[in-house]
Amino acid sequence: MALAIDLESKVLAFRESLQDQNPQSARAARDVSVSLSKVGDFLSLRGQAGDGEKALENYQRSLEVCERLLEQNPQSAQAARDVSVSLIKVGDFLSRRGQAGDGEKALENYQRSLEVCERLLEQNPQSAEAARDVSVSLNKVGDFLSRRGQAGDGEKALENYQLSLEVCERLLEQNPQSAQAARDVSVSLIKVGDFLSRRGQAGDGEKALENYQRGLEVCERLLKQNPQSAEAARDVSVSLNKVGDFLSLRGQAGDGEKALENYQRSLEVCERLLEQNPQSAEAARDVSVSLERVGDSLLRRCQAGDGEKALELQQRAVEIGMALFTSNRQSVFYGRTLAVSLFLAFQRAQGVGQEKKAIEYLSQCFAVLDDLVQGGATLDPEILNLHTQLTGIFSKD
């Protein structure tokens, strides 16, 4: 990371010198803006003391360059789009930082970005890129309002999500062969579905399920058109899980079986993806997550033999988790994931009376967690509490 920051900082210095030599060059100014944004990204990711302030300074300087370029070239679609992207960068940073006043400033940036995008679309009504940018900005405003949760924010958030969906659907109508347009529709349908599912007003559940099912249909059509697309396959898997999660939570007659069916179909999709991409860590983890979902669903159903099936599935998830962590020993994420998977295996083995196997899994869980803790890993309170409890069980002292 330090090397990347150093290299990009040198690129920035070089580009700034070029701009000094060519103060009227829009290309030179844009290159400076891009480098400022990249340095900001690297600093934001590194997260050392003072990096946040420096990252924000770079994002703001990048925005200032873009705004000057747009002033000089008010008819330039590229200049307008660059301003919109820079506004979102600043908004995202402020939203993540969350200091006093950051929320209001973040929202202001998102709204300004939306205004720029909407003007750009008015000037270029046939531009798919301009329309998509409007959709993205609407979702940014919607996401912020949904998280903030002040009086009236929910209704405004839903309005933004629905407007974004309308934009995406028009784009798909105009570009029926566009995989990107189809994917954007499915993502927007899920956004609306998630919001309605969380809100839980009368009728929201049925509307949420309708959106999830429509999203799944779009994804399945897209996969049919692009059978070799890993992204399309993964989107089908995610949509199947969305439908399964909703049905599982709703719990009406027959919902459990339908939820299990969706989870099993999602697992099949994930397993095919892993077969096609055996080196993909993401594909492996998706299989692991799907195995656990199917296992959870079987345990809720609680028919004869379901406990044993759930344990078998969890054992496969543990094997995947072991392989991922073995290949990425420095990864706290994979270590934590393996520890959770082992703890679930302990619970499932215990649930079917396999006490010896249960203790083995619990012991392995402790070993993984203890290595993470002793290595100075930053872990969430829930996992730290589990480590404390297991230390009391396994400590030789």
**Cα gap 21→328, rounded to integer Å:** 47
- Cα→Cα distances 52→6, 48, 55, 56, 59, Å: 16, 8, 5, 6, 11
Residues 6+ apart with CB under 8 A from 77: 120, 123, 124, 127, 130
**Cα gap 147→107, rounded to integer Å:** 11
pLDDT over threshold 60, residue 397: no
**Cα gap 351→284, rounded to integer Å:** 26
Residues 6+ apart with CB under 8 A from 65: 29, 30, 32, 33, 36
Task: Kindly list the domain boundaries of the chain, sorted by start residue.
Answer: 207-302, 328-397
Residue of higher predicted confidence among 6 and 389: 389
Angle at 261 between CA 256 and CA 262, to 5 degrees: 100
pLDDT in tens, 27-69: 999 999 999 999 999 999 888 889 999 999 999 999 999 999 9
What's the fold here for domain 207-302? Answer: 1.25.40
Q: Residues of 349-371 as b/e, b for ≥16 C-beta within 10 angstroms? A: bbebebeebbeebbebbbebbbe
pLDDT category of residue 281 using cuts at 50, 70 and 90: very high
Sign of CA dihedral 210, 212, 214, 216: negative
**Cα gap 368→332, rounded to integer Å:** 10
pLDDT in tens, 148-160: 999 999 999 999 9
**Cα gap 381→336, rounded to integer Å:** 12
Query: So what's the pLDDT on residue 262?
Result: 98
* Closest to 89 (Cα-Cα) out of 129, 136, 145, 127: 136
